[in-house]
């Protein structure tokens, strides 16, 4: 896999302040993309989440969340190790769930489609009035186009209506990349695998990508207003 370090991505650290995750870049502390989305959810979204917690129980909800988070972290690491040429399983082939999920994404979403990797797990930030920062899973030349890719795992298959936050994340990342690095990202792509090894791909591009970029800026503005940040 060809790596191309054509962009200079900044180093950052993260902290929790006032219950919000923030990125420290130089002297600036910027709210994270996921923090902004969580803090500006609609009342319907908040109610749906609380109803789910009540239905399954707080203890079980926390177990599911922790398990999914751990599985997602391991899956991401495996994909990155594969792309960096660190994996050699010729002497020991394991059958762990997260590896099978990662391999499904590699086989169906990456192999033969990924041309160059510009970066993985890179910090992106938006420097204008409503500042924010986040971490993109992969920035790449993919099927001949500059894109940002997010790798996702799920307990069940996803419908477009249920993953609007995923699209808003991609809107945030592509917009930040374009503004700071002078690019014109062509698409935001989600490569997802369920724990039952079902692969799904979602893509936003063109006018739809611009729509999600603008929708995310609206959420950032709302976040700043809710927290009285000028």
- Give pLDDT, residue 17: 87
* Mean pLDDT on 114-141: 96
Looking at residue 123, its pLDDT comes to: 97
| pLDDT value at residue 64 | 79
pLDDT at 216 over 80: yes
Domain assignments of the chain as residue spans, ordered by start: 2-9+38-226
Predicted confidence at residue 91, as pLDDT, reads 46
The arithmetic mean of pLDDT across residues 176-199, rounded, is 97
User: How far apart, in whole angstroms, are the C-alpha atoms of residue 194 and residue 175?
Assistant: 28
Could you say which of 1.10.150, 3.90.320, 3.30.870, 3.40.1440 is the CATH number of the domain covering 2-9+38-226?
Answer: 3.90.320
The whole-angstrom separation of Cα 45 and Cα 52 is: 11
**How confident is the model over 140-144, as a mean pLDDT?**
97
d(CA 58, CA 15): 26
pLDDT at 89: 63
Going by the DSSP 8-state scheme, the letter that residue 106 receives in this structure is I
- For the sheet with 20-25, list strands across it: 13-17, 20-25, 28-31
Prediction pTM value: 0.91
């Amino acid at each position: 896999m060809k790596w191309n370090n054509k962009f200079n991505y900044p180093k950052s650290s993260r902290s929790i302040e006032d219950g919000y995750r923030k990125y420290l870049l130089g002297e600036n502390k910027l709210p994270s993309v996921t923090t902004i989305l969580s803090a500006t959810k609609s009342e319907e979204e908040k109610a749906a989440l609380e109803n789910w917690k009540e239905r399954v129980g707080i203890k079980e909800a926390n177990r599911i969340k922790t398990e999914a988070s751990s599985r997602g972290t391991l899956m991401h690491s495996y994909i990155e190790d594969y792309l960096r040429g660190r994996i050699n399983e010729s002497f020991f082939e394991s059958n762990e769930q997260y590896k099978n999920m990662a391999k499904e994404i590699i086989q169906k979403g990456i192999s033969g489609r990924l041309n160059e990797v510009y970066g993985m797990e890179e910090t992106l930030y938006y420097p204008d009035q409503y500042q924010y920062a986040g971490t993109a899973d992969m920035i790449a030349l993919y099927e001949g186009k500059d894109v940002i890719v997010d790798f996702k795992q799920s307990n069940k298959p996803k419908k477009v209506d249920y993953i609007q936050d995923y699209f808003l994340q991609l809107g945030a990342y592509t917009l930040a990349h374009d503004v700071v690095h002078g690019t014109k990202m062509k698409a935001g792509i989600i490569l997802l695998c369920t724990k039952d090894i079902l692969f799904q791909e979602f893509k936003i591009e063109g006018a739809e990508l611009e729509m999600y970029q603008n929708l995310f800026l609206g959420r950032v503005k709302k976040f700043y207003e809710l927290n009285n940040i000028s």
